[in-house]
Structures are given as structure tokens and as C-alpha cells.
Amino acid sequence: MPEKNADHLDLPSRPRRNRRTAAIRGLVRETVLDPSHLIYPLFVQDGRSEPIDAMPGQVRWSLDDLCKEVERAYGLGINAVVLFPKVPGEKKTETGEHAFDPDGLAQRAIRAVKQSAPGICVITDVALDPYNCDGHDGIVSATGEVLNDETIGVLCRQAASHAEAGADIVAPSDMMDGRVGAIRSAMDSAGHTNTGIMSYTAKYASAFYGPFRGALDSAPRPSGAKPIPEDKSTYQMDPANAREALHELGLDVEEGADIVMVKPAGPYLDVIHRLRQATDLPIAAYQVSGEYVMIKSAAARGGLDEKALVLETLTGIRRAGADMVLTYFAPQIAEWLG
């Protein structure tokens, strides 16, 4: 029997053995990040493309340039995009009729993208804030209340029009009670039984949405004619609540959601994990504009590696339980992953 080296501890387990080389680390890696897990959010507007000042590196694309960017992303292995239209102010109304206009910007964008890249999954936002002159996700009453049931009627028409234009999945982000079931019924009645619903199940009234609202000019706006709620806390979830997300999950599952979502992603990893323990449905998580800008700003100031930050945060979101991640970094990630 060879003598034990007096300098070596008699350890029954040495976890570092599984970290010794890149090949071994790859074999035992628990969480994998791949371009197929990414959804690329894209902004579109009529007219020329222009950079978004509040979101460095992001663009409000013209229809033609949008199609080129989608083709580029698809070529990198990104299989899904979600579209956000910037609607001109003159087309915004209190009840958001442009949301279901068959020749509206969103509908034209859906058709253009599906023609340009037929294999890509097109997801669309269903909510009224881009179309509402009050800047809310729903219709605001004369007394300043965001109306639930009246809003749902418009959302159903919006979702059906997106399905008719060729959307693969509609994503209601409004947080009105009962909208998933109503949208499912409306699309089924219109013959769109194959169009999926990705519900914003736990969308929090977060401070991280500011750059996005700037990109679409969709923040709540005061009006002389009626009181306008200054924020969206009467329908988006309280950031202090996690158990409530499970209640919202149960309702969305019962109403027919195909995919459920947590938004924002990074500050709500615990909520993603809770939903993962409670459902077998696919879970999406949205790394929102504020998260994006924080990383870009920190990297630009020096001392932090943008690539390392992005890959670590995305891996953390996946590790928490998200099957797919909406992120503005999607093309960069796809290029980094090769």
C-alpha cells in the first residue's frame, strides 16, 4: 500500500474534479443557453429607421429594415421575434381602435415579416398602450379608472386581427382580469385555433420599463379632460408580491394560456422559480429595457465585461426556470455562442 501524502487531505468528495477542464465542465453543466431559447423584441414604425436614444444599440425599424433585421436574426439561429409598433400620435384614441385595424402598423409588420422569413415565429404584443392617447394598457374612464371588461372587448378584436395577419402567438401584456380566456374564445370563433397565447402572467408594476415606454411613446399622459392614473399599479402586479403570481398562473392555465411569462426577469428570479415548481407549461421571462440599459451603461463606463454580464444574467434567468427569454441582446448572444 503506498503511503498517503501528508500534504493531502483525506476527502471523500472533491467537487473541483468536475471543474478541472472545459470539457469536463461542459459534460456536467446543468443549464444550457442556446439561440433557440431567445426571443428578439423589435420596434417598428412607419417611415425611416432611427436609433432609440434611450436604448443604445436598439432601433425603431422601418418595415423594410425590420424584415432585413429579422432575416439576420433568423440566420443566427434566433427562431422567434416579438413586434412592438410605434403608432403615430394622430392615430391614438381613448379606445385604441387602430389596434385592430387590418391595415394597421402591427398587422402590416406581421405580414411583411412572415413573407420575408416564413419559418420564424412571430409573436405580437396585445395591449392598448401603444394605441391609447392616455398611455394606458386599457380604456380609461371619465373618472380615471382603467376599465377591465370594456378593454377586453378591444383586446379580443386586436388579437384576432393579429392572428388573421399571420401571427403565430399573441402575447397579452395588459394584465386585465379574464383576458386570456376571452382572447382564446375570440380567436377560436374566428377560426384561429392554431394561434397560441403567451400570457404576461406575472407582469409587475416595475420601474424598469422606462426606456421601453420612451421608445414607443407609451407612458401614461396627463389630460385636461379627465384624470389619468400616473402609473399602472391598479392592474400590474405589486413588486412586493410573489404568492399572487401563483394565483395569476392558475387563472391563465385554466383560461387556456399556452406559455406563461414573468416580467421583468432579473429582479424576479424567485417568481420564475415559483412558477416553474407549479406548472409544466413553458415559461418565458422578459429581460426588459431597464435591465438592458443598466448592463449597457455599466459596460460603457468600464470595469465590467458586457459579454460576460449578458451571458451570466441570461444563464441565471434560464437556471431559475425560464424555457425562453425575451432579450434585446439576442443577436449578440447568438453571435457569441457561435
Domain-located, residue 27? no
Number of domains in the chain: 1
Rounded to the nearest 10 degrees, how much is the dihedral formed by the CA atoms of 319, 322, 326, 328? 0
pTM of the model: 0.95
Range of the domain at 273: 32-337
Residues 6+ apart with CB under 8 A from 240: none
Residue 81 in domain: yes
Which pLDDT score, from 0 to 100, does residue 226 have?
86
Distance of alpha carbon 294 from alpha carbon 173, whole angstroms: 23
H/E element, 164: helix 148-165
Query: Considering Cα of 216, then 151, then 266, then 68, what sign does the dihedral take?
Result: negative
Q: Which amino acid is at 58?
A: Q
CATH number of domain containing 140? 3.20.20.70
Exactly one of 86, 203, 232, 296 is catalytic; which is it? 203
Q: Which residues of the chain have pLDDT under 50?
A: none
Catalytic residue, candidates 92, 232, 263, 296: 263
Active-site annotation holds for 86: no
Domain annotation covers residue 21:
no
Does 306 reside within a domain? Answer: yes
Contacting residues for 114 by C-beta, under 8 A, at least 6 apart: 120, 122, 166
Residue 103: CB atoms within 10 A of its CB come to 10
Q: Does some domain include residue 15?
A: no
- Secondary structure of residue 141 in the 3-state scheme: coil
Question: 231-270: string of b/e by CB count within 10 Å (b at 16+)?
Answer: ebeebbbebeebeebbebbebbbebbbbbbbbbbbbebbe
Active site residue 114: no
Residue 2 placed within a domain: no
Q: Using one digit for the tens of pLDDT, what is the confidence trace for 263-293?
A: 999 999 999 999 999 999 999 999 999 999 9
- Whether 61 maps to a domain, the answer reads yes
Residue 216 lies in a domain: yes
